[in-house]
């Protein structure tokens, strides 16, 4: 009897200890079955992708990837510089590093706004009369254009969004007024510096800083027979 009682007591103690120590895994646990990581093949993501890390001391502008031909020459373009003074400052910095370069310029034409207007009138007085008519019809934002090719035309509004210009044109048409719409462009001359140098000068080159946030470093493919390359902005 005592032996049976002792056996049951030991069994209860064992069950209590097993219940205290054992912890079931949480429901829905996902077991990672991927192959073990080879530490020798790990790479920093930013370095692998060509993007500088947060502590990078390289160029603060758009990163660029190096490409070179058999001679280990690197080709790059820097720009666009918005002014002659700014490009000359960059040329001075490049000269201090003995980096040869050539300058080129580019005329950029971009959309600035959209204008709704009436064609040129026969005289300025006719244009004034047209404005009075427009005012009586409820259109108050208008003026006489005094530009080559548009002299004595009447502007009814200049818009940053093309749809707004179209809406005004439709309202005018509903009143029996046939207006025209034109796209106004902004023309700007910018400057580029094209370089070709040995890979040993890469570190010095990438430490340079440019005065304008618009200026970036662009990679160019070096040609076997020279450094001519397509415009990076194309």
- Sequence length of the chain is 234
Which of 58 and 112 is assigned the larger pLDDT? Answer: 112
| pLDDT value of residue 1 | 55
| pLDDT value of residue 54 | 32
Q: Is the pTM of this model over 0.75?
A: no
Share of the chain above pLDDT 70, in %: 65
Q: What DSSP string describes 98-124?
A: T--EEEEEEEEEEEEEEEEEEPPPSSH
Is the pLDDT confidence value at 26 over 50?
no
Domains and CATH numbers, the chain: 61-107+189-219 (3.30.70.240), 110-187 (3.30.70.1070)
3-state SS, 202-227, equals HHHHHCCCCCCCCCEEEECCCECCEC
> What is the per-residue burial (b if ≥16 Cβ within 10 Å, else e) of 108-124?
eeeeebbbbbbebbeee
| pLDDT value of residue 124 | 95
Phi, psi of 185 (to 5 degrees): -115, 155
| pLDDT value of residue 9 | 59
State the chain's mean pLDDT as an integer. 74
Give tens-digit pLDDT for 63-113: 444 444 445 778 889 999 999 999 899 999 888 888 888 999 999 889 999
Give tens-digit pLDDT for 151-193: 999 999 999 999 999 999 999 999 999 999 999 999 999 999 9
Phi, psi of 167 (to 5 degrees): -65, -45
Taking the C-alpha atoms of residue 196 and residue 50, their distance in angstroms, rounded to an integer, is 20
The answer to whether the CB of 144 falls within 8 A of the CB of 131 is yes
């Amino acid at each position: 009897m005592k032996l049976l009682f002792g056996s049951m007591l030991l069994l209860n103690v064992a069950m209590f200890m097993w219940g205290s120590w054992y912890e079931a895994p949480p429901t829905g646990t996902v077991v990672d079955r991927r192959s073990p990581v080879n530490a020798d093949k790990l790479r920093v993501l930013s370095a692998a992708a060509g993007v500088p890390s947060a502590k990078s001391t390289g160029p603060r502008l758009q990163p660029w990837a190096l490409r070179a031909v058999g001679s280990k020459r690197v080709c790059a373009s820097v720009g666009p510089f918005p002014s002659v003074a700014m490009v000359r400052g960059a040329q001075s910095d490049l000269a201090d590093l003995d980096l040869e370069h050539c300058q080129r310029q580019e005329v950029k034409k971009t959309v600035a706004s959209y204008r709704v207007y009436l064609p040129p009138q026969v005289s300025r007085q006719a244009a004034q009369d047209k404005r009075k008519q427009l005012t009586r019809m409820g259109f108050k934002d208008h003026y006489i254009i005094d530009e080559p090719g548009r002299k004595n035309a009447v502007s009814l509004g200049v818009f940053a969004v093309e749809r707004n210009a179209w809406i005004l044109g439709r309202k005018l048409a509903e009143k029996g007024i046939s207006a025209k719409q034109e796209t106004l462009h902004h023309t700007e001359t910018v400057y580029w510096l094209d370089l070709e140098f040995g890979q040993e000068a890469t570190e010095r080159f990438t430490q340079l800083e440019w005065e304008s946030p618009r200026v970036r470093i662009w990679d160019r493919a070096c040609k076997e027979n020279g450094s001519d390359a397509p415009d990076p902005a194309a």
